Amino acid sequence: MKILIIIGLLFFAFYNPQDPEDKTNVEKKKEVAVEPEPKPFPARKRFFTTRNVPVVNNFDMKDAYGQIISRCRTPQLDNQRMTNAHESTHFIHSQLRNDDVLSHRVKTFPGAFYIFPDKSFHIEQPKFLRKEIERYIPASLRFSRFNTYFGKNKSWAEYPLYIIDEFVSYINGSIVALDDHKNGQRVDSLDPMVGPIEFAVYSVATCMAIKDLDPEYWNNQEFQDFMYDTMKKSESIFKAGRNIYPHKNQEEILTNLKTSPDAENIRAFMKEHFDSFFLSID
Ligand SMILES: [Zn+2]
């Protein structure tokens, strides 16, 4: 009996009933304590396959203008220099596409883009009509070039990447305008920096249409990386030239892109896929 009493006393001495509420609190505290801080994703290296664009004539290559013209078999030379650079970029695209078709590298009519100064990117067209892009461009972002390339303009109806063809050509024209300014060369154009921002908007709309209408095409990471690189280049040219070549349209496009309620979808897409290029410019 004595033994039983001793065991009983020992039991109560060492038994420590846990209050269920206390236990929950401990667990709660634990949960809060081990909550990990979200780690920022490291910037992914962008990659897309390029080819070299060879020099095809003896044009003087001393500046950006010369770099472009010397790679064009049939350069345009009879206009102001940045326009010649723009048009000659179209001609380079055309010669790259024709070479692709003639060499049987592609089955369908391809897209080919000259990346200043000496590379190119090649990809087939997405499967929808170019006019589908229009509805992704809100009213507040339809500017002077909209009617030239959308609306009644039905040319290149089956080639949505025609918009990117223009984007790259405007970028190359603006590269020449900046380079000529740096070299003390006169630039006659009234709005050399409007093209890169106006076509950045139309190109984002093109990507939005691709993602919706040809998702398999959009999943091509090389296309996304090419577009990322082109958007980045366009923003840096715009930032460098915005005050050298001021224009009311470029300011209006930037303001509307950043603040217009009808541009919300475009902004969301740019945040998701294009690191908020343009949106973070003051
Ligand atoms: Zn053009």
Q: Are strands 119-124 and 51-52 parallel, antiparallel or unpaired?
A: antiparallel
For the chain, domain boundaries: 51-273
Model pLDDT, residue 38 = 60
Going from the Cα of 156 to the center of ligand 1, the distance in angstroms, rounded, reads: 12
Going from the Cα of 165 to the center of ligand 1, the distance in angstroms, rounded, reads: 8
Going from the Cα of 264 to the center of ligand 1, the distance in angstroms, rounded, reads: 28
Q: pLDDT of 165-206, one tens digit each?
A: 999 999 999 999 999 999 999 888 889 999 999 999 999 999
Q: pLDDT of 124-162, one tens digit each?
A: 999 999 999 999 999 999 999 999 999 888 889 999 999
Going from the Cα of 6 to the center of ligand 1, the distance in angstroms, rounded, reads: 99
More confident residue, 12 or 142: 142
Model pLDDT, residue 102 = 83
Q: Contact 157/129 with Cβ under 8 angstroms?
A: yes
- The arrangement of strands across the sheet holding 119-124 comes to 51-52, 119-124, 110-115
Going from the Cα of 82 to the center of ligand 1, the distance in angstroms, rounded, reads: 11
Q: Which residue has the tokens 């326009």?
A: 83
Model pLDDT, residue 12 = 40
Model pLDDT, residue 187 = 87
Going from the Cα of 236 to the center of ligand 1, the distance in angstroms, rounded, reads: 20
Q: Does a cis peptide bond (omega within 30 degrees of 0) precede residue 196?
A: no
Model pLDDT, residue 267 = 98
Going from the Cα of 149 to the center of ligand 1, the distance in angstroms, rounded, reads: 9
Going from the Cα of 69 to the center of ligand 1, the distance in angstroms, rounded, reads: 15
Per-residue b/e over 83-120, b at no fewer than 16 CB within 10 Å?
Answer: bbbbbbbbbbbebbbeebeeeeebeeebbbbbbbeeeb
More confident residue, 51 or 2: 51
Going from the Cα of 22 to the center of ligand 1, the distance in angstroms, rounded, reads: 72
Going from the Cα of 162 to the center of ligand 1, the distance in angstroms, rounded, reads: 9
Going from the Cα of 89 to the center of ligand 1, the distance in angstroms, rounded, reads: 8
The reported pTM is 0.84
Going from the Cα of 195 to the center of ligand 1, the distance in angstroms, rounded, reads: 10
